[in-house]
């Protein structure tokens, strides 16, 4: 059975609910995870069903509740931990990158770290520099985290169930403008989502739109903006392929390279900071596998290495928009083919 669902928040909450119903090892920890559903809805409805023994509002102490997740995981629990905004990672990152991400390796494989971290990312609604970042590149940079960025409700549910069945630390980055919550703009689409449980495999990118003139690679919200840009480009007779990475770690280089070889032109679009991040990493893999097939140098569009500013025209300037993506795609096509 399927039904129409708007946004990733309910999909993630439903995934956790369905796994919690079957398993006793899952507990949910974090700030405001009960009444407010971790603010962005990822845990909504759980405490009514499972109570405060399993869905636990913590004091505002990221270092401590991530440390507790590490300790609980080391004796067989599977904590689901909310990092309300990814921007707050600094308050608890030591326990994440030095412990949760490393203990399996450092212990020679003795201690599994089945910790699922839920965090809200992204801007576009006026929350400014400390509440609008994406920062998945930081997590993807550190060995030991799987980095999941759902763009659709279907994926959000299936990827979350995969995370809850994974014996490794998985961070799920849910974009605020894809949550479908009434107090935020919604840039996703309503879609059919099965009621039953299913998984979406990590490391498999999705081709959201097939095309032949260029490949646009993105994750999360930027997938939707690329799709809208592709609609506009189509009106000008340009055929754009859009790839949704779904997971940054593991990264599906095969699908990226195959698409790059097919179209010969690649634009990478990212809402994270531009330098030393996802765009550079993806570009490396694309050129490594498809350099001979590329007709022009790879281009990228990302936050131009400035904090996210508050005022609307300023924010609009730094977060890649549909218009910017269209312009960048046209610039890519205008670049002369290599001799």
Site residues (CB under 8 A) for another protein? 24, 27, 53, 56, 58-59, 61, 63-77, 79, 94-95, 98-99, 103-112, 143-144, 146, 167-168
DSSP state for residue 91 in the 8-state scheme? G
Report strand pairing: 78-85 vs 55-57: unpaired
175: β partners? 121
Instruction: Please state, in angstroms and rounded to a whole number, the distance separating the CA atoms of residues 150 and 279.
Output: 17
Which of residues 27 and 135 has its CB atom nearest to another protein in the complex? 27
Burial 124-135 (b: 16+ CB within 10 A, else e): beebbeebbbbb
**Nearest Cα residue to 149 out of 141, 137, 165:** 137
Structure tokens at 249: 């770690």
For residue 158, CA distances in Å to 15, 84, 164, 234 come to 7, 21, 10, 31
Strand ranges inside the chain, DSSP E: 2-6, 26-30, 55-57, 78-85, 116-121, 146-148, 170-175, 190-194, 206-209, 214-218, 240-244, 247-249, 266-273, 299-303
Which of residues 104 and 224 has its CB atom nearest to another protein in the complex? 104
Q: Catalytic positions, please?
A: 131
CB of 16 to another protein, least distance (A): 17
CB of 73 to another protein, least distance (A): 7
CB of 142 to another protein, least distance (A): 10
Query: What sign does the CA torsion over 275, 279, 281, 285 have?
Result: negative
CB of 198 to another protein, least distance (A): 22
């Amino acid at each position: 059975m399927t039904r129409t669902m708007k946004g990733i928040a309910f999909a993630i909450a439903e995934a956790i609910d369905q796994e919690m119903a079957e398993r006793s090892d899952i507990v949910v920890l974090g700030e405001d995870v009960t009444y407010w559903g971790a603010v962005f809805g990822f845990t909504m409805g759980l405490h009514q069903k499972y109570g405060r023994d399993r869905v636990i509002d913590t004091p505002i102490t990221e270092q401590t509740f991530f440390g507790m997740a590490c300790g609980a995981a080391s004796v067989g629990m599977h904590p689901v931990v909310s990092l309300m905004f990814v921007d707050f990672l600094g308050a608890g990152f030591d326990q994440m990158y030095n412990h949760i991400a490393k203990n399996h390796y450092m212990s020679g494989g003795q201690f599994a770290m089945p910790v699922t971290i839920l965090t809200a990312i992204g801007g576009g609604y006026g929350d400014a520099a400390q509440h609008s970042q994406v920062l998945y590149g930081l997590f993807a940079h550190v060995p030991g985290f799987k980095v999941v960025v759902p763009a659709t409700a279907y994926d959000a549910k299936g990827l979350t169930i995969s995370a809850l069945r994974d014996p490794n630390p998985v961070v799920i980055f849910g974009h605020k403008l894809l949550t479908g919550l009434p107090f935020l703009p919604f840039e996703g689409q309503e879609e059919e989502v099965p009621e039953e449980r299913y998984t979406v495999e990590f490391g498999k990118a999705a081709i959201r739109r097939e095309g032949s003139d260029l490949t646009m690679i993105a994750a999360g919200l930027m997938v939707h903006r690329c799709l809208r840009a592709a609609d506009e480009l189509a009106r000008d007779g340009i055929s754009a392929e859009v790839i949704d990475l779904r997971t940054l770690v593991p990264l599906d280089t095969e699908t990226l390279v195959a698409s790059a070889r097919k179209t010969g032109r690649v634009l990478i679009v990212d809402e994270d900071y531009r330098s030393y991040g996802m765009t550079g990493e993806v570009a490396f893999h694309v050129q490594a596998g498809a350099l001979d097939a590329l007709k022009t140098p790879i281009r990228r569009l990302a936050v131009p290495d400035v904090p996210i500013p508050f005022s609307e025209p300023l924010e609009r300037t730094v977060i890649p928009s549909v218009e910017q993506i269209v312009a960048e795609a046209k610039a890519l096509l205008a670049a002369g083919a290599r001799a």
